Every structure is written in structure tokens, then in C-alpha cells.
Amino acid sequence: MAASRELRDSQLRANLANATGAIRAKRARIVSELPDWQELRDAGSAIKADVMANLDTYLLQFEQALTAAGATVHWARDGGEACAVVADVARAHGVSEVVKVKSLTTDEIELNSALAQHGIHALETDFAELILQLDGDWSSHILVPAIHRNRTEIRDLFKRTIAPDIESDDPAVLAEASWRYLRGRFLDAKVGVSGANFGVAETGTLCVVESEGNGRMCTTLPPVLVSILGIEKLVPTFTDLEVFLQLLPRSSTGERMNPYTSLWTGVTDSDGPQELHVVLLDNGRTRVLRDEIGRQALHCIRCSACLNVCPVYTRTGGHAYGSVYPGPIGAILTPQLIGIENAPSLPFASSLCGACYEVCPVKIDIPRVLLHLREQAVDTAGKPGERFAMRAMGWIFGRASRLRFAQHLARLLQRPLIRSGVIRRLPPPFAAWTRTRDLRPVAPVSFVEERSSKQGRE
């Protein structure tokens, strides 16, 4: 994790603290209304565990239901295959622009840049995603991608790009500027692209949960729709949605219900898109599924509650994680999707405070998975110096006499470092401690030692 730049940016830290603080308080209030919140979490966790255990069956059921409802199903082993499906559909219809619903999965596979290579522009229609696209920036939060920006920064950006006459930074004025820019594009669009929050195996229904309604514009106005979803997004039955449609809005935006929930099943004659492509994406997910401890990361419903409570995320923001999925969930999901050897520092970007586990609506034991991945990181990309130090500590702790000796040695070595009762400067590898913190010296005598010598005399 590389957080130095972010930590020095005081505007960024203020923006983050305000925004995460507000969502967090709202979530806590709205969750406390439900007497059966813990039971809902248990239900969400159990449904997802069942999906993972029987994913092969549910996926085939889903494909069958979708096909019967008039959709075309594509299986994509990786991002490249998924992007190719979208590009082929867009080219078949001769379009140079597609309109997009906010979708993390399409960020994961870098769909926009893949389409750009074919001369196709992917227009982001989610307000925050649009802001980032206009500025060449990228998402720093799962739910609120432009959380690192405040409204004055957004007003200035709009003035430079889509609304030269804009003066006010009032949220309503900013939103209106985006509507004026997007409205015509929605009406002209021939191809829409979406992700999906859930796919119902039983019926082939896709579900998108959103706040703005721009997503629904993309899934209903264009005659052609391509929906890409990770294979872990399934729920077995339509009834199971009732659990997640309670868990998700309360956990993510702190609302009892989100403003727009769109559900669509295949193609309906003369209503909505007349051509529906559904891309089922693996991109590392079956590998995650093989890991019995790590697989619970696939239960994630992308609510982002774990980000808002994380002491690390709320200080550094999402960019420091260098991953599409930031925060605690990103720290356990990304290394598994792309391979631990490609993100060995991510599982260490946590103080193990456990706040994420406490709020997770599907009870992913994030601290437990972090420890599991830390072990893998040490095994595949561990630093020899650290390994030696840990072995040495293990050896010292192997006998009380060795620990006593180490304590005596520390007392001798620290002598020249003590200034008016504290150590203000330590040599490497502990120098990082004393850059911002004093250290109290090792005590003159340990209690266990004192007590054992007393017991020995008696």
C-alpha cells in the first residue's frame, strides 16, 4: 500500500472524513431500527454460502432461465473475453458510443479502455462516475466513487467541461448540469451496458440497485443491452432478494430502501431492450472459490460499509490501495482475484481492528481472511529479513530464560538512546516508530522475573 501522498493531502483527508462520517452515522441509525438485523445478516451469509457451494448448479439454471426468456448468454473466462463480447455487440450495431450504468465489474475488466481501442466511447452516466470520467480520474470508493472530491471542485470541473456557464456549487445545480448533458445521450443511445447487483438463478432475473435513475435510463431506453456480472452475484430464488434488498441499502447509503430498484427478465416484446446479452464473468473467481477460507470474499454485495468504518480507508482513501476494490473488502478480494504475488502488501493494509466484520451485512470475517492471506503473502513474497526476525522472536519465546536474556540485552542497548526518560529515536527497522512516537524504555525488571526470584527464595 502506498499512502504517503494521500496522507499529506489535507483537503482529501477532510473530504473523506466528512463524507464517510456522514454515511456511517446514517447507517448506524437506520440499522438500529431493525430488531432482526443480526438474523438478516445470518440469512444473507447462509444464502451466499449455499450459492458458493452449489455455484455450478445455479449457473446452469440461470443460463437456462435467461435463454428461455430470450436473452443470449456469454461465458467469459477473463476480462478480455468479456470486453470482446461488448465490443462485438457494439460493432454489430454500428455504434460509436454506449451508455453505461455504474458498474464495478466493468471497472475490474477495464471495459472503457478496451472499447476505446475499438473506437467506441463508453459514456459513464452515474453522476460520480461521470465526474471522474470528465477529469480522467478514477474511483476511490465502491459506492461513492468521487468521495475524494468536494462540490466546489466538481463545480470547477463542470465549468471547464460540460457547463461553461455554471456558477453555483449547489448540489441541485450540479445535478441539473449533468442531466442536461446526459439527457440527449440517453435518448440517442443504441446500446446500453450494465453490471448487476444480483442475478436470480431460478428466474434469470437481473437486478440493479441505484439512487439516481440514470441506470434505469440505460437499461430501458437503448434497444440493445449488455449486462456483465461476476459469477458470484447469483441468488437461488426470487424470494432470496428480499433479504438482500433489506441488507444492501441500509448498509450502503443508510436508507431503508434505495430510490430505484430495476429488475428485468430476458426480453419483453415492445418494452425495454429487444436484444439482451448477459456476460457471466469468471476472471479469477473460480480460483477464489477453491480456497475454503478465502472464498467468503465472494459473498460481498458491494455495499461499502466496511470502507466507511475502516480507520485505514478513512485516512488514505481508495486510491492508495491501487485496486478497483478498495478498503477492507479490496484488501481480501483483490489479492485473491489477481493472485497474492501481484498484491502481497494489500492484506497488511489493516490494523485488524475488526470494525469491518462488525458492519458487514453478509458477515464476511475480513480479519480472519486477512490473516489467511498474510500467511500466503509471507510464503510467496516474504522478505528474508522479516522472516529471520520472526524466526528469531519465535526462538526467544521458546524458553523463558531466552526472553529474560533478550530483556536484559534490550536494557543495555537502550541506555544511550534514552533522553529524559523516553526513547525519541530508534535505529532501523524500528525507526518508523519513533518518527512520530516516543517509546518508553524497557522496564528495569519484569514482574514475572521479580516474582519468580521471590518464589525461589521462599
Partner 1 sequence: MKIGLFATCVADTMFPEAVRATATILERLGHEVVVPAEQTCCGQMHMNSGYRRDALPLADRFLATYGNLALDAVVSPSSSCVGAIRDLYRKLLGIEHPLLERTMELSEFLVHRLGIEDVGASYPHRVTYHPTCHSLRVTRTGDAPLRLLRNVGDLELVELPDATECCGFGGTFAIKNAETSSAILADKCTAIESTGADVCTAVDGSCLLQIGGGLSRRGDRVRAVHLAEILASR
Of the candidate spans 135-143, 156-164, 241-249, 442-450, the one that interacts with partner 1 by CB under 8 A turns out to be: 442-450
Measured distance CA(98)–CA(276) in Å, rounded = 14
- Interface with partner 1, residue 134, by CB under 8 A: no
Nearer to partner 1, 29 or 437 (CB): 437
Question: At its nearest, how many Å lie between partner 1 and the CB of residue 428?
Answer: 10
Strand, coil or helix: 142 = coil
Nearer to partner 1, 179 or 397 (CB): 397
- Interface with partner 1, residue 53, by CB under 8 A: no
Of the candidate spans 126-134, 175-183, 300-308, 373-381, the one that interacts with partner 1 by CB under 8 A turns out to be: 373-381
Task: Specify whether the CB–CB gap between 365 and 296 falls below 8 A.
Answer: yes
Measured distance CA(410)–CA(246) in Å, rounded = 55
* Count, residues near partner 1 per rule CB under 8 A: 64
Strand, coil or helix: 261 = strand
Question: At its nearest, how many Å lie between partner 1 and the CB of residue 16?
Answer: 11
- Interface with partner 1, residue 403, by CB under 8 A: yes
Q: 373: closest CA among 344, 353, 352, 350?
A: 344
Measured distance CA(353)–CA(371) in Å, rounded = 13
Contact with partner 1 (CB under 8 A): which of 257, 352, 409, 413? Answer: 352
Segments of 43-148 assigned E as strands: 72-76, 97-100, 121-124
Task: Specify whether the CB–CB gap between 206 and 70 falls below 8 A.
Answer: no
Residues 281, 285, 287, 289: what is their CA dihedral angle, to the nearest 10 degrees? -130
Contact with partner 1 (CB under 8 A): which of 315, 334, 337, 415? Answer: 315
Contact with partner 1 (CB under 8 A): which of 199, 357, 363, 369? Answer: 357
Strand, coil or helix: 429 = coil
- Interface with partner 1, residue 374, by CB under 8 A: yes
Measured distance CA(193)–CA(200) in Å, rounded = 19
- Interface with partner 1, residue 388, by CB under 8 A: no
Strand, coil or helix: 187 = helix
Give the footprint of partner 1 on this chain (CB under 8 A): 1, 3-4, 7, 13, 311-312, 315-316, 347-355, 357-358, 368, 371, 374-379, 382, 387, 390-391, 393-394, 396-400, 403, 407, 410, 422, 424, 429-430, 432-433, 435-440, 442-443, 445-448, 450-452, 455
